[in-house]
Amino acid sequence: ALGLKTKLLANEIYCYDLIDSTNEEAKRKALAGAPDGSLFVTEQQSGGKGRLGRSWTSPAGQGLWFTILLRSSLLPSQVASITLLAGLAVCRAVRKATGCAAMIKWPNDIVIGSKKICGILTEMAAEMDRIEYVAVGIGVNVNNENFPEELSAKATSLRLESGSFVRRVPLLQEILLEFETVLNDYPLHPESLLNEYKTQCVSLNRRVGFTRANQKMTGVAEDISPSGELIVRSDDGVLYPVYSGEVTVQGI
Ligand code: BTN
């Protein structure tokens, strides 16, 4: 189906015209036994979800709104890395498919210049110390020609950036293939993928704002740890690992 070159990802495909959220659907179908690698993809979402409880604008036909269900033997500690790997895969695929200079804003927004073209929402269900499943939801603004007023300063699409219409199916194929490749390579070469991630990451060596124990702090992002934390040197010289939550990058 879809002319895919992947072995595991999208072995089973659930396609919709309209659904509340592909992440919600993936979680419902996970409970009903959907297998490892299942792909949930829709033309439109009525309740697209972003990180930190935000909503995600998902108009009909203009983007790629999909979720990949992973349920092989994963440790909770590996989930942060999976999210970073998904970002790296989208970054590679967008560059290949469109030539746009896509970069990653830690942990996993894909940006072109200072505007976002893709967001990733990873949700997991764990029982004791065992991961039941991980739902990796990816939203790519592909052919949007405009955005709601409140988003227009920070969101863009591949069409707006490249100046031409972008075919969604080849891009989806490329993202799935790159995601499968990085998932397979990660256990073998974790350092080389972390290094590639760092070279594509706009947050490093920039001033960032972050929250620590409910306090707003600022500092410079110096590194990314092997488990995916952003390492920030605060203005008083202390190194902090930042796990996720809200990080703002100055100028982005
Ligand atoms: C973010 O940047 O805040 C994450 C956005 C994630 C959006 C995608 S679209 C497909 C999947 N289904 C959802 O409801 N959200 C994710």
Give the nearest ligand 1 atom to 63 CA: 9
Q: Which DSSP string corresponds to the chain?
A: -TT---SSTTSSEEEEEEES-HHHHHHHHHHTTPPTT-EEEEEEESS-B-GGG-B----TTTEEEEEEEE-SS--GGGHHHHHHHHHHHHHHHHHHHH---EEEETTTEEEETTEEEEEEEEEEEEETTEEEEEEEEEEEE-S-----GGGTTTB--HHHHHSS---HHHHHHHHHHHHHHHHHHTTT-HHHHHHHHHHHBTTTTSEEEEEETTEEEEEEEEEE-TTS-EEEEETTS-EEEE-SS-EEETT-
CATH of the domain at 96: 3.30.930.10
Same domain? 20 vs 139: yes
CATH of the domain at 236: 2.30.30.100
Same domain? 244 vs 191: no
188, part of any domain: yes
Looking at the predicted complex, does its ipTM rise above 0.95? Answer: yes
7, part of any domain: no
Same domain? 177 vs 230: no
Domain count, the chain: 2
Give the nearest ligand 1 atom to 54 CA: 3
For atom 11 of ligand 1, the residue with the nearest CA is 137
Q: How far is the CA of 55 from the centre of ligand 1 (A)?
A: 8
Domain that holds residue 55: 13-200
Same domain? 164 vs 51: yes
96, part of any domain: yes
Q: How far is the CA of 157 from the centre of ligand 1 (A)?
A: 15
pLDDT in tens, the chain (252 residues): 567 888 889 899 999 999 999 999 999 999 999 999 999 999 999 999 999 889 999 999 999 999 999 998 677 777 888 889 999 999 999 999 999 999 999 998 999 999 999 999 999 888 777 788 999 999 999 999 999 999 989 999 999 999 999 999 999 999 999 999 999 999 899 999 999 999 999 999 999 998 887 888 999 999 999 888 999 999 999 999 998 755 565 554
